[in-house]
Structure 1
Amino acid sequence: MKEKLIDFFITTLDFLPSELVVVIISAMPILELRGGLPVAYGVYDFSFAKSYLLSVFGNVLPIIPLLLLFLPISNWLLRFRWYERMYTWLYERTMKKSSNVEKFGAIGLILFTAVPLPTTGAYSACLAAAFFAIRFWYAFLSIVIGVLIAGIVIGALSFSVLNV
């Protein structure tokens, strides 16, 4: 699925500068930095530094709106049955994956964000921070540090795979 989304963005957004395409891919849920950095490095042949900076920037963009707006908007939308079902599913899925966040708070958010596994990343970490009521600045800084670490891990993997 990720490959199809990436192909869609690359072909559909070919009229945009390639740097902006990388930022957009990195800002998307599911794809995040894990999709943007390999595209920047492998498809657009950017340097590692440029790939890393654009991908991190794109992945950090949605953090502030998510941390500030997720709960207020969710509280308003919970009056609709369809959203209540989706919210319950999202809550349960996030709680299953975020035992370290519950145990270690902001430090757990760093680990949760940094580990490049499916369903972990900045979006999920923002939801976990909201569900566990972690203060904004702790959550923001922890998630950004996690994104920076994830970028190094994904960058190293991309570099080693694409330069074999």
Structure 2
Amino acid sequence: MLPLIELRGAVPIAAIFSQIFESAGQSFNMPLAYVIIIIGNMIPVPLIYFFARRVLEWGSDKPVIGKFFTFCLEKGHKGGEKLKATAGKGLFVALLLFVGIPIPGTGAWTGTLAASILDMDFKSSVAAVILGVLLAGIIMSAVSFLGLGAILGF
């Protein structure tokens, strides 16, 4: 549960452990690991949705953290408005793809913060984030196992 890494780092690590365990004659339950990774990635989502924006707004006028918090809010609003203009009614799909395409800075936590700043409703935000996390997990699993297969020659 590390910001910006989230599932994108956990799935390859689980794939590596899977190969290590299997080469040692031990079993490793990759589907169970996948479920645990997804649950761990989703645990902070409600907290981020309901409180992160409030914390940023609260801290925006504080002496030490104010500039950074204001920057985060302004960047979020600017990016959110741009996304709204581009996506239009497809904001759900845009959030799903934002979370689901595994590139740095586009995970469940960042997507949830964006949904909060965009004033998306909680249920559709969480649904888009969950589907995005599942998509990212599938992509990362495929990349991890294909990459390990190429490296280890299996």
Of the candidates 142, 145, 151, which is equivalent to residue 128 of structure 2? 142
The residue type equivalent to 2:14 in the other structure is: A
**Selected match of 1:38 from 12, 22, 28:** 12
- Alpha-carbon distance in structure 1 between the residues aligned to 2:50 and 2:57: 13
Identity fraction in percent: 27
Asked if residue 29 in structure 1 is aligned to residue 13 in structure 2, the reply is no
Size of the aligned set, in residue pairs, is 138
Hey, what's the Cα distance between the residues in 2 that align with 1:123 and 1:161?
A: 26
CA distance in 2, matches of 1:35, 1:101: 29
Whether 1:123 and 2:97 are equivalent positions in the alignment is: no
Alpha-carbon distance between aligned partners in 2 of 1:115 and 1:28, rounded to the nearest angstrom: 17
Contact 1:125–1:143 under 8 Å retained in 2: yes
Query: Residue 5 of structure 1 corresponds to which residue in structure 2?
Result: none
Cα shift at 1:34: 0.4
Higher relative contact order at CA 8 Å, sep ≥6: structure 1 or structure 2? 2
8 Å contact from structure 1 (residues 41, 158) kept in 2 = yes
Worse-superposed segment, 151-160 or 126-135: 126-135
Counterpart selection for 1:133 from 98, 116, 119: 119
Paired residue for 1:89?
71
User: Could you tell me which residue of structure 2 aligns to residue 111 of structure 1?
Assistant: 97
Instruction: Give the alignment's TM-score, normalised by structure 2.
Output: 0.78
* Code of the aligned partner of 1:86: F
Q: Which amino acid aligns with 1:143?
A: V
Amino acid in structure 1 at the alignment position of 2:8: R
Q: Larger radius of gyration, structure 1 or 2?
A: 2
Moved more, 66-75 or 87-96: 87-96
1:41/1:47 contact within 8 Å kept: no
RMSD: 2.2
